[in-house]
Amino acid sequence: MEAQSELASKTFKELGICIIDYLNGNENLHTSLQKIRNNEKEANKLRRKNLDIVAQAVNIYRNDLFRVVMKLSSVMSNQIGASVRLGKIRYVPRPDDQMIPKFKNSITVLIEMGDELRNLMVSLSENLIQAKDKCYKIDEIEEKVDEIYRDLHGFLYNREDILLRVIMQLLSVAKHIEEACDHASSVADSVRIILDTH
In 3D space, the residue among 185, 173, 194, 163 whose CA is nearest the CA of residue 20 turns out to be: 173
H or E element at residue 157: helix 128-157
Q: Which domains does the chain have, with CATH numbers?
A: 2-197 (1.20.58.220)
Over residues 70-97, the pLDDT tens digits come to 888 888 887 888 888 888 888 889 999 9
Can you give the pTM of this predicted structure? 0.88
- What mean pLDDT is predicted for residues 101-123? 94
The predicted structure's pLDDT at residue 59:
65
Whether residue 106 contacts residue 145, with contact meaning beta carbons closer than 8 Å, is answered with yes
Over residues 129-168, the pLDDT tens digits come to 889 999 999 999 999 999 999 999 999 999 999 999 999 9
Q: How far apart are CA 116 and CA 58, in angstroms?
A: 28
